Amino acid sequence: MFGRIGRFAVLRPWVTISAWLIAAVALAALAPQLKSTSDQAEFLPSHYESIQAAKAQERAFPQHEQPAAVAVFQRTDKKALTEADKAAVVKVAAGLQDKGLTKVKAVTSSPEAVSPNGEIALAQVLATVKDPYDPELGESVKELRAEARSLLAGTDLTIGVTGAAASAVDAKEASGDSDAMIMSATLLLIVVLLLVIFRSPLIAILPVVIISLAFMVATGLISTAAELGGLKADASISAILIVVLFGVGTDYILFLLFRYREQLRGGQDPKQAMISAVSLVGETIASAAGAVIVAFLALLLSTMGMLRAMGPSLAISVAVALLAGLTLVPAVFSLLGTKAFWPSKAWKKEPKNAFAGKIGSVAAKRPGIVAALTSAVLAVLAVGVLGFQPAFDADSSLPQDLESVTAMKDLQRGFSAGQTDPTSVYLEKRDGTPLDRAQLEAFGAALKIEGVGQVSPALPGANGSVAQYSVVLEYRPTEDKALDLVSGPLRDAAHRAAPEGTRALVGGTSAVLGDISTAVSRDYKVVFPAAGLAIMLILGLLLRSVVAPLYLMASVALGFAATLGATVWVFQNGAGEKGLLFTLPVVVYLFVVAIGTDYNILMVARLREEIGAGRTPREAVRRAVSASAPTITAAAVILAGTFGVLMLAKNSMLQQMGFAVAFGILLTAFVMALLLVPTLTSLLGARAWWPGHRNTLPATGGQGGAAGTGPGGSAAGDGSRTDDRSMV
């Protein structure tokens, strides 16, 4: 099948290239813009209490203004506010109210809205929409900031705007800068590394052009699927798509080009060499991509809408990268022939690969020692997992110089940290009749527990059957203490105090994040096994073995734990972070286990070829490691580098993700694929391939070399001979 695909692309290159160009242009012109949201409430199933509370709010208070932001006023000298200062705050709030900002219902303040220490005054910004990420509301926040500064001219006051909508504006702008920086750094890294590896400017640039075209197709398909299927993507998906598509796409191109160069050295003409390369490496690339795709699709089993949205998007991007690798790349390089390697002549010579040969020899001669040492290193790193603390505070990952961050710190000098985003508690009569005033007062009093700063009087809904209490916490709504308080003691107190015939619902940001914590814990138990089983199935089909997939996945699981443990040590113990991105285990599992399995697939496929050629397990390990090391090294360095670029982002959670995935990929490539997997295979011997027969040659479509008929085999039916020491 792969031979036919390669033959079509090579013999009809202009048809193939035109099809890609038409698809890219059509999707860019016709596909809708990808919609993204960071409203975590939209990502939870309806049975969670925070979502039920939001629905109760919509029923009882359909026109109720939502707190969107808080304007924080203070003197430039940080001293207590004077009466004139307080009057100026009220005047500025009224002036902002008169501006008629879009989606802003009211800007209110009063002389009493001053902190107990007298240093901070607040003005509440109420919106007509619930979503703090509403684009029009965001523009109004920007305008409000500018107008407020002009209104404060001539006073001794300064202003900072914080709260949900302000944080959303700042996060979006910071993310926009990061996306551009990540794209630029990723492209530069790929070009430089390809130039070093192949010493050819064309090969350095062409993959970037090809993947850029594939990126246009992938984003168009994703946005179309989002529009037709109601798919929503998390705000960080764009940065992740960049590194996934460019990282994985470059890997697949490298797998193909290394094999193409090998076939040229064997004496084939350029077109036949490319057809042979697709035929030989196509199954490996397809299997590697398949493992990544099914792992990403396993996210559909998540209860988290954020992860369910991420899974199909990433799966589509990998599928496009696979299709480009098997069709667009052969078509482009078939037109260039050996000119693609200009001005380098190195492609004509068989590399010595001395270092790779030494690694192969050590792995072959001392498999037990190497396996034990590598396992010990992974186990030591894995110990760090025990200290993993999930973090749900997205605001803490933002650059600390943003206005919303600094204004929040100023607010906390005088008020409870929860002032910007109070928790909402609802008391609802089950039969729809009005609530009794005495019940409302008693219920409100019961909410004043430790950790709660203040509880507002009950606000009755339209028909009186639902009442809302605004509960200001002493902690920031997104920090761990707030989540623990709301999902534990506060909910317990509300449920206990609810009179007979009523129900209490706790909602708001802290409640949503607390429910997300519960959902993520559930997802760990479902998504991980599902993705692992799917990858094992693909490995079993590729290797025609039951045993090999078992120890491969066991080693990958150890690598996963080692990666996460190292990240804990670097960021929690080293950098002093209070916790790591709460979805980091899922991200590491899918990116390191799925994408990192590419290198294990390359290695075991080569081992299978060498065993199939009749070699002993130890000799097969020596030859497979020596031959595969250059390809795996080049691919892993580029892929790890593209993810490592995320560490340049200002967002600490993207930094954590970048380090974890980059480190995990390097660990998978250099420790697992080149050392642990081949030595375990050597120790197991023929049992590794059960129930397959150890002397059965893999089907290769009659192509030569170690991937074909063994030493001295005929290459591609053209009478030439291929050195079986060549690379995968």
pLDDT given at position 692: 65
**Looking at the whole model, is its pTM more than 0.95?**
no
Comparing CA positions, the residue from 250, 83, 161, 196 lying closest to residue 640 is 250
Residue 10: CA atoms inside 13 Å, Cβ hemisphere, count? 23
**If DSSP codes are grouped into helix, strand and coil, which group holds residue 118?**
coil
Query: What pLDDT, on the 0 to 100 scale, is given for residue 439?
Result: 87
Q: Taking residues 488-497, what's their average pLDDT? A: 93
Residues forming beta bridges with residue 302, ordered by sequence position: none
Q: What average pLDDT score do residues 238-242 get?
A: 70
CB 359 within 8 A of CB 625: yes
Burial 93-128 (b: 16+ CB within 10 A, else e): beebbeeebebbbebbbeeebbbeeebbbbbbbebb
Asked if residues 235 and 179 have their Cβ atoms less than 8 Å apart, the reply is no
Indicate the pLDDT class of residue 695, thresholds 50, 70 and 90: very low
Alpha-carbon distance of 96 to 398, in angstroms, equals: 27
Say which residue the tokens 């790193």 belong to: 381
Residue 244 has pLDDT above 90, yes or no: no
- pLDDT of residue 300 exceeding 90, the answer is no
Instruction: Kindly report the backbone phi and psi dihedral angles of residue 490, in degrees, each rounded to the nearest multiple of 5, phi listed first.
Output: -70, -45
Output the CA–CA distances (angstroms, integers) from residue 624 to 371, 584, 595, in the order listed.
16, 33, 20
Per-residue pLDDT tens over the stretch 397-434: 566 677 888 888 888 788 777 777 789 999 998 888 88
- Please give the pLDDT value at position 383: 92
Stretch 185-193: mean pLDDT: 79
How would residue 35 be classed by pLDDT, with cut points 50, 70 and 90? Answer: low
Least confident of 222-236, 507-521, 617-631: 222-236
The residue behind tokens 């097969």 is: 620
**Tens of pLDDT along 574-611?**
877 777 888 788 878 777 777 777 788 888 877 877 87
Model pLDDT, residue 221? 84
Mean pLDDT for the stretch of residues 11-40: 78
Q: Per-residue pLDDT for 293 more than 80?
A: yes
- pLDDT digits 0-9 by tens, 77-96: 888 999 898 889 999 989 98
User: In the chain, what is the greatest distance between 2 CA atoms, to the nearest angstrom?
Assistant: 97
For the ranges 22-26, 36-40, 139-143, 614-618, which has the lowest average pLDDT?
36-40
Q: What amino acid occupies position 480?
A: D
Residue 461: the pLDDT is 83
Instruction: Give one word for 353, left, alpha or beta, with left for phi > 0 and alpha for psi -120 to 50.
Output: left
Q: Which residues of 589-616 are buried (b: 16+ CB within 10 A; e: fewer)?
A: bbbbbbbbbbbbbbbbbbbbbbbbbebe
Most confident by average pLDDT, 204-208, 352-356, 559-563, 686-690: 559-563
Higher-confidence residue of 359 and 274: namely 274
Q: Summarize pLDDT for 633-672 with one digit per residue, the tens.
A: 888 888 788 778 778 777 777 788 889 988 998 998 889 8
Residue ranges of alpha helices (H) inside 581-676 are 584-588, 596-612, 617-644, 652-666
pLDDT on residue 65: 63
What was the pLDDT predicted at 716? 34
